[in-house]
Each structure stands twice: as structure tokens, then as C-alpha cells.
Amino acid sequence: MNAPLSCRRSTGCTGRTIAGVCTPKGSGTEEIRRGLISLPVIHKGAEYRAADAHAHIYHEKIAEKATASVGAFYDLNMDNVGLPAVLLEQGEGAGIDRFAVCSVATKVEQVRSINGFIEGECKKHPEFVGLAAWHQDIEDIEGEMDDIERRGLRGIKLHPDFQEFQIDDPKLMPFYRAAHRRGLPILFHTGDKRKDFSSPRRLARLLDRLPELCCIAAHLGGYTEWEAARECLKAPNVYVDTSSSIAFIGRDEALKSIYRFGIDRVMFGTDFPMWRASEELERFFGLGLSESENRAILYGNFARLYKLDKDG
């Protein structure tokens, strides 16, 4: 790596630093915040545009508590906090300029407030692609889908382990069909050997019933269940992300998963605030993929999935 990931320019950069971001002279924070400047990641002399396909954000009133709760669930010490401003500072400091942001609803009554929060953050920060919260007990499926579309959210986030439902529960089929009709990809937390709610085999059973469903199986298809994910997730519209995976399975197993799902179906993700962007980028580049493969995973697949225009 030619320069630290905290700076997207070469070590001879003569620009100035704003909130940890090395920017060209004549640029400023507002230009970055409006999405007017693409902030490249530099690796071995090549510049890459990068997006984070998996980032959790929370309202400032609950951010510290929510972050700590996630750490407790996974028995990890969290030295980060899931605030939008922290995501932007750490992400842009590492060269990332687009982020799929989400938060999980553990109660039906949380859905609208979370979606209002995500909508508001997306309006403030055009770098954000907003994913809606959902809950398995929502009764007015079409009404809630209408609300998601009115807010301009581009997908839906589900965490079956936190929300305590089985991915392949038949009662959720009307919801899945509605999401498909609306063109809303679903980002699933998948995998955890301690629980069975989100196992890749359950997702595979769902996709046997609805193979056209577009979804993202997070954590290379199944956190702690990577081999099972490679074996059973074969539907054509399944994407995976790299979040919370490479650190645990290492290079060889990660590459097995990436090539099994296909370069055009893998997206880079951090699982913020679990990990910092600079950490996950170092792990990603340690895989030793080709320049074209890096480009697809870091940004190209994300842009295609969320239908971003050339400059988006």
C-alpha cells in the first residue's frame, strides 16, 4: 500500500485536511458533504471509488447504548459509536464516499421513527443510501411500503437474530413478495451458529420459494456459517457483503466465498460501528484481488444494485 488508508492522496499530498480527510486545495467540507468530490482509496498506485454496503447508524440519544448492546450480543468490546458523523469521518477519512445506512427495529412501533431518522440523515448527507427498518409483525404491508417509497429509501434491513423471527417463516411471504414488486433489495443479517433464526439454509429455503427475490446475505452469506452459505445459497439474485467476515475466516476462506458467489455479486462492507473503514479496507486489500475485481467489489456492484447514476 503506497500510503496510509487515512489519506487518499499520495504521500506527497499538498492538500489540506478537513475532519481527517485529505482534500485538494480549494475544496472544503461542504463540497464533500454534497457529494461533489469522489474520494478515492489508493492501493498500489491504483485509485478506487469505494462504497460501504453495510453501516448501522443511530440517533444521538441512543447511539452509545445501541452500540454497546450490539457489542454485548457478540461479546466484543466496542470502542466506536454508531453516529452518522463518526461514520462519515471514518469512512471519508479512508476514501469511502457512499454508504448504505440502516438501523434495526425490534418493535413495530419503532419502524416509522427509525425510517424518519434514516430519511432525515439521507437528506442531510447525499453520500447515504437509506435502507428502511421493518418488523415482522407489521400488518399493513402495502401501507408501510408506500411510506418507505415516499421517504426515498432504497432497500430494507432485517436482522432475524435481534428481531427473533425465522427468515423462512411462511407468514413473511406477503412481505417478501411486496418488497420484490417494489424493487426493494433486502439486506439480511445472515448466520450465527448460536441461533437458527438467520441461518443460510433458512434463506435458501426462502429463495427456493421466491428465487427472484433480490437480497444481500451479509457477512459473506453467513457469519460463522460460511461453508454452509457456500453450499446452499445458489439463487441468482443473492448478493453478499464482506462485513464482519474477513477478520474471522482469513484470506483463503474469504476467497473461496467470494469466487463461489461471483465477483459481480460481492460488495465491500464494514458493519460500522463494529469496525472502522480503514481496518476493513486493509483486510480487503490483503485478499490480493485484481484491480478489476477490486473495482467491482468496492463500488461497481453497489452502484448497480442501488441504481446509482454515473456520478452517484
- pLDDT at 39 > cutoff 50: yes
**Mean pLDDT in residue range 148-173:** 98
Separation of alpha carbons 3 and 15, rounded Å = 15
DSSP 151: T
SS3 1: coil
Q: Closest by alpha carbon to 116, among 81, 87, 150? A: 150
Q: How confident is the model at residue 153 (pLDDT cuts 50, 70, 90)?
A: very high
Mean pLDDT score, 15-35? 38
Q: For residue 3, give every residue at least 6 positions away whose Cβ sits within 8 Å of its Cβ, in sequence order, or none.
A: 9, 10, 11, 13, 42
- The pTM of the full predicted model, rounded to 2 decimals, is 0.88
Closest by CA position to 174, among listed 132, 138, 216: 138
Q: Where are the domains of the chain?
A: 50-305
- How far apart, in Å, are the Cα atoms of 280 and each of 238, 276, 277? 22, 6, 5
Q: Residue 125 in 3-state DSSP?
A: coil
Q: Which helix (H) or strand (E) holds 146?
A: helix 141-150
**For the chain, how far is it from start to end, CA to CA, in angstroms?**
27
Per mean pLDDT, which range of 13-22, 45-54, 132-141 is the poorest? Answer: 13-22
State residue 76's pLDDT score.
Answer: 84
- pLDDT one-digit tens code per residue, 192-210: 999 999 999 999 999 999 9
State whether CATH 3.20.20.140 applies to domain 50-305: yes
Share of the chain above pLDDT 70, in %: 87
DSSP state of 191: -
